[in-house]
Amino acid sequence: MSVQKFYSDDGESLSRLVVSTRLGSSAEVYLYGATVTSWKCGGKERLFVSKQAKLDGSKPVRGGIPLVFPQFGPGDLPQHGFARTRVWTLLSAEEHGESVVVNLQLKDNEDTRASKWPYKFDLLYTIDLTETTLSTIIKYENVDSQPFSFTSLMHTYLRVPDIASTTVAGLKDVAYVDKIKGGTDLVEERDEVTVEANEDRVYVNVPGVVTVRYGDESIAIRRFNFKDIVLWNPWAEKAAEMADFGNDEFPQMICVEAGTVASEISLRPGQTISCGQILTCESLASSNL
């Protein structure tokens, strides 16, 4: 196991942690937003981070795995809530067998309690890295005296060689909302979903594993207590509107995001729930042997 901690004179928001396993996989985590910005598995980078991404704490990181909480999308709070723009506390980074486990914490503070979501909460984020998997699980705890509800999501940007030859399996017969075209009550008919334009879809109550395939490799996404999958690619027109996203970068990424966003998660005082995902990098060639 190797654990490296990096700090910057510019502020705690730039602090990051790089961990690696004995078997060659590695991950990088910024304490700002608890954002995983790198996952190397099988000798390849599996996450996409824009070359234009801001890593100075001035805005959420454009890429990796930003954490959405307690609000998905626009609403009373800033876009996607405040978890991805807060500095998390590093509790531990330890070796467990052939894996490395990182634990981060975010609690309410004066600013969050003064927001339009004023509740007391405690989030424990566990990142578990093995040779072929990256597990990201959040334990949400209501430490307030009243119940609260929230939406949450892991905004995973996957790096792909070419969006034109990338497919997403596991969504057939699932109802979805098309946020670009305004369609609701739609049902996915394809075994393999492809992206050929600006897409922003919320697939609701997805039943099983979702797999992103490209070339002879794939990334399997297994969810734990998250109901939905968001599929997103900005394509050329939307990319041109984002200052922190390169105009020519959209063919190298696809967002397949595990979360509960079509409905809310509700917790009573003292109640907890753990939700997250396990990403597995797989070789289609070896799996067919």
Active site residues: 155, 257
Q: Cα–Cα distance between 203 and 158 in angstroms, integer?
A: 18
Closest Cα to residue 221, out of 155, 134, 279, 153? 279
Q: What are all long-range contacts of 21-27, with beta carbons under 8 Å and residues at least 24 apart? A: 21/98, 21/99, 21/100, 21/129, 21/130, 21/131, 22/98, 23/98, 23/130, 23/131, 24/131, 25/129, 25/130, 25/131, 25/132, 26/129, 27/100, 27/102, 27/127, 27/129, 27/134
Is the CB of residue 158 less than 8 Å from the CB of residue 46? yes
Cβ within 8 Å of residue 52, ≥6 positions away: 62, 242, 243, 244, 245, 246, 249
User: What are 19's strand-pairing partners?
Assistant: 3, 27
